[in-house]
Amino acid sequence: MIYILGAVVLVALVLAAFSFRILREYERAVVFRLGRLLPVKGPGLVVLLPLIDRMVRVDLRTVTLTIPPQEVITRDNVPARVAAVCYFKAVDPVAAVTEIEAFGPATSQIAQTTLRSVLGRADLDQLLSERESLNEDLQQIIDEQTEPWGIKVSTVEIKDVEIPEAMQRAMARQAEAERERRAKIINSEGEFQAAEKLADAASIIGREPSALHLRYLQTLLEIGAEQNSTIVFPLPLDLLQPFLDRVGKAAAAASGETANGVGELPHLADVEK
């Protein structure tokens, strides 16, 4: 009798141990009683009927899904290997259990097929420079497909893009040619602006001759500051014209006085007489 009572107590303890579950804050319990769905339970202590209730634990935390590298042919027929990462979580535990057998692998497969489909419609330049818009398109499409499963896809990021080495060299040559083109354009624009400024300066100097004289004097000062032993400096005749006029007048006056003096000299015959 004692052995029978002990066996009953042991069985009761085992059934009680299987009847209690403790769920964490980020977990929910989807319970089926004889196959019928009960309301979601948790977090905390969950009591189950032994051999009658079956519980499925659902994690509500965000899952980081690494999408394996996919072979993609872009719209401009360039082969590439693209790897991405997807962040999703279960927002409806009941749908995540009843609508899909395993939502994790299913989300991974949807993400891979969507990645190949979306990136196959993009050019290589878009794949390299417009990742943000492609990420948004991927997130929206994958989220629409997983929404009936109670899965919310929050973010999809293209992580790595591998292209053939020949294409990399071609892109490097293209980038170098583009940099040279921009340098030539900037150089020509600088020369054009300098020519405009020189034309404006020449126009101002042409209206004001004194400005030209001041510019020459300033240039002489700059050359003299360099401590050169020999300076060859062109001097405009306009600058020396007042001095030349004054020297010419003085020479003319001197020649006139000399001529008058010679005419007044007495003849030698008159002196002898």
Q: How do residues 166-214 score in pLDDT, each as one tens digit?
A: 776 777 787 788 888 888 899 888 888 888 887 877 777 777 666 666 7
CA distance 253 to 246: 11
Question: What confidence tier does 270 reach under pLDDT thresholds 50, 70, 90?
Answer: very low
Give the three-state DSSP class for 67: strand
CA distance 107 to 143: 9
Domain ranges of the chain: 7-59, 63-163
Partners of 53 in beta bridges: 33
Please tell me the CATH code under which domain 63-163 is placed. 3.30.479.30
Q: What is the pTM of this model?
A: 0.61
Whether the link from the prior residue into 209 is cis, omega within 30° of 0, is no
CA distance 240 to 247: 11
Q: How do residues 17-42 score in pLDDT, each as one tens digit?
A: 778 888 999 999 999 999 899 999 98
Residues 6 or more apart whose CB falls under 8 angstroms from that of 164 comprise 78, 79
CA distances for 48 relative to 30, 42, 155, angstroms: 11, 12, 37
Give the three-state DSSP class for 273: coil
Backbone angles phi, psi at 121, to 5 degrees: -95, 0
Give the three-state DSSP class for 86: strand
Contact 21, 58 (CB under 8 A): no
pLDDT of residue 267: 44
Strands (E), 34-174: 36-37, 44-47, 53-59, 63-73, 79-90, 151-162
Pairing mode, strands 20-23 and 27-33? unpaired
pLDDT of residue 92: 93
Q: Supply 225's token pair.
A: 């500051």
State CA 180 to chain mean position distance. 20
14 or 100, which is more confident: 100
48 or 87, which is more confident: 87
Task: Enumerate long-range contacts of 51-54, CB under 8 Å, 24 or more apart.
Answer: 51/15
- CB burial of 39-73 (b: ≥16 within 10 Å; e: otherwise) equals eebbeeebebeeeebebeebebeeeebebebbebe
CA distance 93 to 109: 20
Partners of 90 in beta bridges: 151
Share of the chain above pLDDT 90, in %: 34
CA distance 217 to 222: 9
Kindly tell me if the per-residue pLDDT of 263 is higher than 70.
no
Give the three-state DSSP class for 166: helix
